Structure 1
Amino acid sequence: MLTAEARVRETGIDAVALKPMECDVAEAASLPFETVVVDYEGREHLPETDVLRRIASERDLRVTVPVRASGFDPLGDDALASDLPEEAGRVFVAGHSAYLDEDERAKRVAPRLGAAVEDHPDAWVGTEGVERVALATGAGQFELLSRSTEHDLRALRAAGFDGHVSLYAPVVLTEDEDAVLDAVGGYAARRGPVARALPEGAATDGSASGRAREVLSAAVRDYALVGDAAAVGERVAELKAAGADTVVGYPARGPEDFR
């Protein structure tokens, strides 16, 4: 049986993303990755500065920073951002609406991303929904895996972009289809093309059947990395050949998948 380190090495995944709502991010020290990304899931779930500093002392840490959120706004209240450890890198994002109030959602993204990158030129910038703005910053790009990713990466490189490109994807290291759909079926179902293809009211987890199961089984492979370590490794190799520099895996079933 492969050790956790050997299995991760076989996948080709370079970094792990951890969600503080789902696990103790201090677990990063027990995972076989040099680079760790801590996702933002609202102010109430922001890890303590000491915890982040401890991770940063052992790993290459990056923290997702929503530039429209109060406390992280480079053109306004940035009190929480100033508490982040200096040694932690940044992944600047527009911010998911679920974690923003009405006033925060109304803020302009472009000037805030520009100001944030000016302060942290080595940051990665999330492209979801703001692709042109993210590219205009000139910073490393933080892409979300989708069905068009390979085409988009090749086009980006062909156009002359030679900056760093990181690719974020949920990961499910199993061939058990029910387990795959339980972990990322709902995630894939929220993507526009998938939602339109699904029968109304259909289950989106391992209990899905018929047409819904067919749609979801194809979709999870567009939007996530699934299968055994070898299968994931083949997919990651294709994505890197297309232009990705770093693949960041979010363990959709929990950090145990990488142990």
Structure 2
Amino acid sequence: MEQHATRALPPCLRVKRLGLAYHSRPVLADISLDILPQRITAIVGPSGTGKTSFLTCLNRLTDLIAGATVTGQIYLGELEIFSPAMDLLALRRRIGMIFQKPTPFPFSIKRNLEVPLREHGLRDRRRIEQVMQEALEQVGLWEEVKDRLHQSALSLSGGQQQRLCMARAIMLAPEVLLLDEPCSALDPLSSSVVEDLITRLRDRFSIVMVTHNLAQARRVADTVALFWPVNGVGRLIEQSATEQFFEDPQHEITRAYVRGYKG
């Protein structure tokens, strides 16, 4: 893909020697990488290398998992997110997440958007309506649902549900969007629509996307990071600009992986 011009901006997320274990069983070890603003970082690698677990560390969803132990540091700007003083509601507003399978609430389309806005303190009805419409427009869904906002969100197609979930995340104005294989549960046409949306959102958000689809990573990402199992534990093997990752990888595992010999 065509690379963005380099900007001298500091990382929005800095991960330093991150480790994760479930019930003392290591899942990730010694992960250090930077997430740059207004860039798409694709996390690739075989199944079982902790890619989704890595995403859950970035906004502390690991706090909700029994037996999860996290080591190392993650900085959001100058804030260390594992600090006891960290406001988790504020953190998850600043770092939104879209899951592999669309997860609309079993409410109306409108209420799907109202609930998180009210949870985060927005009370003015006119402003709520404005924010909802803007978010639906940004994901290309407004014209498709504006006359049926009171219908169940579960009546939408899979691709529409995923875009609704993306609208629900971006209307809170996060700095970072975490996408866990956002197209894997969708048909090819819906996948294409969501993929195009992701590339357009790059100019507003930092995006970290887990994908098993190397062709997709090559199309949309600015940077690609390869996770690989080493003695059964996920480790970062290589992170580089997309063109270098695919055309001139520096690690022998990366070279084999992109040529289809591994994974």
TM-score normalised to the size of structure 1?
A: 0.32
Q: Tell me which protein shows more helix as a share of its residues.
A: 1
